[in-house]
Structure 1
Amino acid sequence: MTADASRTSVFTPAALQHLITTGDGPRLLDVRTPGEFQTGHIPGACNVPLDTLREHRMELGKHLDENVVLVCRSGARATQAEKALAEVGLPGLRVLDGGMAAWESSGAPVDRGPQRWELERQVRLIAGSVVLVSGVVGFFVPGVHLIGTAIGAGLTFAALSNTCAMGMMLSKLPYNRGPRTDIRTLVASLQDRA
């Protein structure tokens, strides 16, 4: 394990893979969207989208203990999930260091489904396209270039706050949602894995 700059405890992909291989693996909660989860996830992980986790954290907290590792694409959403669960009395949960990106880079096993573009890539496409178009149109229509400036300001804020409004909006699209998460099915799954 490595220490994160915040209070969140992180688990390296190698340490997690070792625990899973030895049969002492923790519960894995993947807080990405169902669409992202379907694309690829750690075998045995349970999908609990961040929005669902926040909304039902009291109920979910009753079925979890400290032997949980939270997973997302890079670690940012998992850290948010850790903070939400700490609010209901589950301190000390761990986050997969580097998320699925680090897990896949380490060569660890991944259950794969239909491939989709990751949210981060979608954000880059939309933001880049808006900046490009507003820059070109700005040569002919005064003031349009300010749209690109607004996008740049939004991306700067996203980096500083470790949140992304555009990513949150894109995650609501049907393409990214995948199957709807039912809280009763989710709780039953957590009880079965206890």
Structure 2
Amino acid sequence: MNFFADYNNLALIALAVVSGGLLAWPTISRGTSGKTVNPAAATQLINKRNAVVVDIREATEYAKGHLPQAKSAPLADLASRAASLAKDKSVPIIVVCQTGQRSGKGQAALKEAGYSEIYSLEGGLAAWQQAGLPVVK
């Protein structure tokens, strides 16, 4: 009981709780909008299940380099372009941005458009490149 009565210890406990919350924030803020895949799992989806890759970065970012066969659909235009991304709405979709931070919003927009299997590329294009996988310019 004396441990919790000491103000120094309370400050340390509060600091631990706040830092833990900040570490968990990216996962919490992503919500339940969809699943994530690492670059290796993404290549499996692309090769074995013909997953459609949707790059939600701006056109200028897309032009600097993107995944092979990725379709450009900037996040701002995604809702209006969602219907034309894949003929079959049950086909897997992999949403790609630069670092994986914007993908959750893209997943939500595609889910709203009726797609059933939507993944976000963990770490985005940066992780893809770090894994040594090909990028098209």
With the length of structure 2 as denominator, give the TM-score of the two structures.
0.67
Q: 1:9 aligns with which of 25, 35, 54?
A: 35
Displacement of 1:76 in angstroms is 1.9
Q: 2:62 aligns with which of 28, 34, 37?
A: 37
Tell me if the contact between 1:19 and 1:25 (Cα under 8 Å) persists in the aligned partners: yes
Report sequence identity in percent: 30
Name 1:65's counterpart in structure 2.
89
Tell me if the contact between 1:13 and 1:96 (Cα under 8 Å) persists in the aligned partners: yes
Q: 1:48 aligns with which of 73, 93, 102?
A: 73
Tell me if the contact between 1:72 and 1:78 (Cα under 8 Å) persists in the aligned partners: yes
5+ residue gaps, structure 1:
113-194
Is it true that 1:109 corresponds to 2:127 in the alignment?
no
Tell me if the contact between 1:28 and 1:45 (Cα under 8 Å) persists in the aligned partners: yes
1:13-49: CA deviation from partner (whole Å, max 9, x where unpaired): 01112344x4534100000011100100001111011
Q: What is the alpha-carbon distance in structure 1 between the residues aligned to residue 68 and residue 81 of structure 2?
A: 24
Q: How many residues align?
A: 107
Q: What is the alpha-carbon distance in structure 2 between the residues aligned to residue 62 and residue 23 of structure 1?
A: 16
Name 2:121's counterpart in structure 1.
96
Greater mean alpha carbon deviation, residues 26-35 or residues 76-85: 76-85
5+ residue gaps, structure 2:
1-26
Change (3 A) 1:92 1:25: closer
Name 1:18's counterpart in structure 2.
44
Greater mean alpha carbon deviation, residues 95-104 or residues 23-32: 23-32
Structure 1 outlier segments of 4+, above 6 Å: none
Q: What is the alpha-carbon distance in structure 1 between the residues aligned to residue 109 and residue 88 of structure 2?
A: 13
